[in-house]
Structure 1
Amino acid sequence: MFNLFKKQSPLDKLNDKYKKLLAASHRLSATNRKESDRKYAEADEVLKQIEALNKQ
């Protein structure tokens, strides 16, 4: 209940963004392969940022 006012860490925000991009890529894969690949590439960039934060 008190997590309502708790701010997310940058790592949590990146994880959420990564999951949303992968979901969008999966949805688009059935209709528009080019857009799906673009979303997957964005998700890959976010994953690289997540890995960089984990190394620190």
Structure 2
Amino acid sequence: MIKFFRSSQVNSLQKKYDRLMKEAYELSKSNPDESLRKQKEAQEVKRKLIATPL
């Protein structure tokens, strides 16, 4: 049961990371500063994702 919750947590973090990177890419064309902010936020999510034990 606990493994299921970890799996769903990993999936949700991965989706959040993907969404942030997509937003950063779209913003890079119009607002580079906001794009960098989104990239930094995505890096923090990626660190959490890597730190989550399987």
Q: Same fold (TM over 0.5)?
A: yes
The structure with the largest helix share of the pair is 2
What is the aligned-residue identity percentage? 35
Q: Offset at 1:12?
A: 0.2
Dislocated runs of 4+, deviation >6 Å: none
Q: Offset at 1:51?
A: 0.4
Q: Which residue of 1 aligns with 2:23?
A: 24
Specify every segment of 5 or more residues in structure 2 that has no aligned partner in the other structure, as ranges. Answer: none
Q: Which residue type is aligned with residue 40 of structure 1?
A: Q
Q: TM-score, normalised by structure 2?
A: 0.84
Root-mean-square deviation over aligned CA pairs: 1.8
Could you say which structure has the greater relative contact order, defined with CA pairs below 8 angstroms and 6 or more residues apart? 2
The count of corresponding residues between Structure 1 and Structure 2 is 49
Flag the structure with larger Rg.
1
Specify every segment of 5 or more residues in structure 1 that has no aligned partner in the other structure, as ranges. Answer: 1-6
Q: TM-score, normalised by structure 1?
A: 0.81
